């Protein structure tokens, strides 16, 4: 693991809100990241179905996309979200962990274009997808 | 000039009580809203969402700044509650929804988010945030909502968002 990835990993694991949601960084590489978030009753958005709130999925997507931008080789060490769009394909199954995978599909000196998808146990049908633009601290 | 008989206006306390009970039932029923600590202030039919700052909302400890995911969640909660509130308003005003019924049967289903797009205009400072939603299109099946969020200064937004929602079908 490169020193840079190690530093990015430390930074991501120290984010207070991500820790509180129980997010775990499963993988981080050059321009990609995988983060999982366990189900919790605190995250319920629909009391009738017990499905987690879209906002919690947004928090996972934002963290994962930001991690991918931070882990990109041409980023010198910080990033911020410029915009993030989430498409909700279906309700996540209550009780299941959600895993997000994000990748930078294009980067310029100042912007990383990132996309991500989130899955529960059914890996063939995403719960949600996201696309966003993140600031890059370039050379 | 008033012609013919008119229904006597209800006492202001009765109207307020019914409005507040409906709003509380909407907000208190959702664990994630409680978890983030979001509350709603009501002036007539106008709602303002309030997100009191807390350490657990931090995304970047170095600045510190509110987590982008919290900002998106705050705006999405504001959109959904405002949309539901507007959807229920006529029934609240006519008395079709009453407090006993809310307690026994709960509320109609909430709108479902189809997509939600957030613009981050400034970093969220470590202080309270506010948001208001405007419903730009409200159809039988689909609605489009715009949300604005600010902190110290109403004119300096720190985030804005647009989302599309699938509306619940009325229980008959």
Residue ranges covered by each domain of chain B = 12-166
> Quick count: other Cβ atoms within 10 Å of Cβ B127?
11
> Quick count: other Cβ atoms within 10 Å of Cβ B170?
10
| pLDDT interval class at A120 (50, 70, 90) | very high
Exposed/middle/buried for residue A31 (C-beta within 10 Å: 0-12, 13-18, 19+): buried
The domain B12-166 is classified under which CATH number: 3.40.228.10, 3.90.950.20, 3.40.710.10, 3.10.129.10? 3.10.129.10
Q: List chain A domain ranges.
A: 3-135
pLDDT for B171 equals 57
- Asked if residues B124 and B58 have their Cβ atoms less than 8 Å apart, the reply is no
Q: Measuring CA to CA, which residue among B74, B164, B37 is closest to residue A53?
A: B74
> Model confidence over A14-64: pLDDT tens digits?
899 999 999 999 999 999 999 999 999 999 998 889 999 999 999 999 999
3-state secondary structure of B4: coil
Q: From the list B113, B118, B120, which residue is nearest A88 (CB)?
A: B113
Contacts of A48 in chain B (CB under 8 A): 106, 109
> What's the pTM?
0.93
ipTM of the modeled complex: 0.93
Q: From the list B56, B59, B118, which residue is nearest A84 (CB)?
A: B118
Chain B window 43-62: which residues touch A at a Cβ cutoff of 8 Å? 55-61
Exposure string (b/e) for B27-59, b if CB count within 10 Å is 16 or more?
bebbbbbebbebebeeeeeebebebebbeebbb
Question: Mutating which of A53, A92, A130 best tests the B interface, going by the most B Cβ atoms within 10 A?
Answer: A53
Q: Does domain A3-135 have CATH number 3.10.129.10?
A: yes
Q: Measuring CA to CA, which residue among A78, A86, A79 is closest to residue A56?
A: A86
- Asked if residues A30 and A72 have their Cβ atoms less than 8 Å apart, the reply is yes
Beta strands in chain A (DSSP E): 24-29, 32-37, 44-46, 51-52, 81-88, 98-107, 111-119, 128-135
> Model confidence over B108-139: pLDDT tens digits?
778 999 999 999 999 999 999 999 999 999 99
């Amino acid at each position: 693991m490169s020193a840079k990835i190690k530093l990015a990993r430390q930074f991501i694991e120290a984010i207070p809100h991500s820790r509180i949601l129980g997010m775990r960084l499963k993988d981080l590489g050059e321009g990609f990241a995988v983060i999982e978030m366990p189900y919790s009753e605190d995250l319920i958005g629909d009391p009738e179905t017990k499905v987690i709130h879209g906002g919690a999925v947004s928090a996972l997507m934002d963290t994962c996309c930001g991690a991918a931008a931070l882990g990109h080789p041409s980023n010198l060490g910080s990033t911020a979200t410029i915009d993030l769009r989430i498409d909700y394909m279906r309700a996540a199954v209550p009780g299941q962990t959600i895993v997000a995978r994000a990748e930078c599909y294009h980067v310029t000196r100042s912007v990383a274009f990132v996309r991500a998808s989130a899955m529960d146990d059914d890996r063939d049908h995403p719960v949600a997808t996201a696309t966003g633009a993140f600031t890059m601290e370039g050379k | 000039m008033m012609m013919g008989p008119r229904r006597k206006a209800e006492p202001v306390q009765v109207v307020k009580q019914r409005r507040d009970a409906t709003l509380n039932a909407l907000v208190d029923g959702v664990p994630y809203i409680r978890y983030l600590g979001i509350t709603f202030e009501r002036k007539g039919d106008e709602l303002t969402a309030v997100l009191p700052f807390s350490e657990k909302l931090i995304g970047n400890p170095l600045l510190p700044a509110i987590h982008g995911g919290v900002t998106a969640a705050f705006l999405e909660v504001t959109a959904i509650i405002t949309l539901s509130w507007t959807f229920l308003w006529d029934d609240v005003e006519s008395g079709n929804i009453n407090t006993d019924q809310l307690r026994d049967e709960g509320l109609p289903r909430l709108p479902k988010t189809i997509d939600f797009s957030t613009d981050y205009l400034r970093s969220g400072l470590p202080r309270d945030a506010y948001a208001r939603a405007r419903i730009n299109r409200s159809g039988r099946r689909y609605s489009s909502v715009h949300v604005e969020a600010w902190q110290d200064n109403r004119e300096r937004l720190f985030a804005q968002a647009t989302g599309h929602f699938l509306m619940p079908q009325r229980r008959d």
